[in-house]
Amino acid sequence: MISPRAALPQDAAELVRLRRLMFCAMNGRDEPGSWERDAEAVARRQLTGPDAALGGFVVDGDGGGSPHLAACAVGRIEERLPAPGHPSGRFAFIFNVCTDSRYRGRGYARATTEALLDWFAERGVTRVDLHATDGAEPLYRSLGFAEHSTALSLDLRSRTPAGWPAAGTR
């Protein structure tokens, strides 16, 4: 039986290592950088305390020298204005599900994701969103995920205040 445990601030470096593996698997490029240090600091800070909005569940690796994580699922709770279908206004987004290649095929992604979904439910979350790779989509569909809507996004790094569209053209 797989027994995920809650991620702790001291797991931050390993969560970031798995995140880097996830990005590499998604786009085929290993992209180390200062983002890793920043992500570790954010994870440490946001996993602290009983009211933490960042939740994560992990499975510890078995042996192989230094302690490491085999898998993780990490997500965040966001409080929006309540709506008819979401009276608590609590939504969540899962953004980091990864299994180290040494441990794939053991059900760790499912176990950590289910634990994270339970954690969200205990906190009154009424909707959970995520972006799935083609390979992971069957797992999420088996957990009840389905298309919700088409979302538009804007990368604000490429914009400056002077670069905003003129009033009335937004």
The residues spanned by each domain of the chain are 5-163
Q: Could you tell me if 128 and 118 are in contact, meaning their C-beta atoms sit under 8 angstroms apart?
A: no
| Ordered per-residue pLDDT tens for the chain, 170 residues | 899 999 999 999 999 999 999 999 888 889 999 999 999 999 999 998 766 779 999 999 987 678 899 999 999 999 999 999 899 999 999 999 999 999 999 999 999 999 999 999 999 999 999 988 888 999 999 999 998 877 787 777 776 666 666 555 55
Q: Could you tell me which CATH number the domain at 5-163 has?
A: 3.40.630.30
- pLDDT for 75 equals 97
* pLDDT for res 64: 67
Query: Beta strands 127-130 and 90-99: pairing type?
Result: parallel
Sign of the Cα torsion 4, 7, 11, 13 reads positive
Residues counted in the chain:
170
